[in-house]
Amino acid sequence: MKLVDSHIHLDFSAFDTDRDVLLEEAQSSGISRFVVPSTTRDSWLRIKNLALSNPAILVAYGIHPYFIHAHSLNDCESLDSWLETHACAAVGEIGLDYFVKELAPGLQMEFFRAQLYIAANHRLPVILHARKALDHLTRELKLHGIKHGIVHSFNGSYVQAKRLIDMGFKLGFGGALTYPRATRLQALVKQLPLDSICLETDAPDQASSRFAGKRNEPLALLEVLETVAKLHNASIEIIARHTTDNTYSALNIC
């Protein structure tokens, strides 16, 4: 069994004391690859070094909507030049978040559009963050001609999911799916074709039920895997194979 965590913030300081132990534990449980998206301009170098220290780590470079107020649009130009000399799997984590009221929607859109333009120019897929913003996000992807990537921690309707899948995107599901009360999200995953689903932890955030109230850890991916297997009435091996293939195909990795 070869699993991929399609979204994990391994560079966060929450892992500073035991990062290597956790990675080893995860790798010996079958989690063979970790996609680490960046959040701020400062994190690019950190993530690059992390990937140099462990070949199981794949990276994405971008500016997360949570941190736009600490950046200027010039930083998007820096991203463009950074990508000239730094190989990566995708541009990300980028997107739109209308749930967090402090994040100015107009400014978010400027950063999002600038980074989609860069992704298209570099022919890179995107790792997307969307909260209460899926329709705007989908429209922008269409306008910029982006056809590959993963919408992480997907939490929309079946219609919104279908639209993205038809455009070529995969959808990421993580800890939120593992709670018995997550009936709406579970019903959605049940309806989705197996070739559209990616597994993720978003660790150290979005703890699965096993880590509820605590730091989320790489091993939570197994709980997400088991949940998807149950919902699709399939073996964990089949779900592992599909979700790994899906992440690789979304990020153009062989």
**Contact footprint for Zn ion (CB under 5 A):** 93
Cβ 235 to Zn ion shortest distance, Å? 29
| Beta carbons of 133 and 110 less than 8 angstroms apart | no
Cβ 34 to Zn ion shortest distance, Å? 13
CB of 36 or CB of 141, closer to Zn ion = 36
Written as six digits, the tokens of 96 are 């739109």
Q: Dihedrals φ, ψ of 147, to 5°?
A: -125, 0
Q: Are strands 149-151 and 90-97 parallel, antiparallel or unpaired?
A: unpaired
Cβ 238 to Zn ion shortest distance, Å? 27
Q: Using alpha carbons only, how large is the chain's radius of gyration in Å?
A: 17
Cβ 180 to Zn ion shortest distance, Å? 24
| Beta carbons of 177 and 185 less than 8 angstroms apart | yes
CB of 97 or CB of 223, closer to Zn ion = 97
Cβ 92 to Zn ion shortest distance, Å? 8
CB of 10 or CB of 118, closer to Zn ion = 10
CB of 74 or CB of 95, closer to Zn ion = 95
CB of 196 or CB of 216, closer to Zn ion = 216
| Nearest residue relative to Zn ion (C-beta) | 93
Cβ 144 to Zn ion shortest distance, Å? 21
Written as six digits, the tokens of 155 are 């939490």
The amino acid at 100? V
Written as six digits, the tokens of 141 are 């992807």
CB of 5 or CB of 93, closer to Zn ion = 93
Reported as type and span, the H/E element at residue 75 is: helix 74-85
CB of 100 or CB of 238, closer to Zn ion = 100
Dist. CA 178–CA 227, nearest whole Å: 6
Cβ 202 to Zn ion shortest distance, Å? 5
Written as six digits, the tokens of 242 are 């599909």
DSSP code for 57: E
Reported as type and span, the H/E element at residue 171 is: strand 170-173
DSSP code for 170: E
The amino acid at 99? F
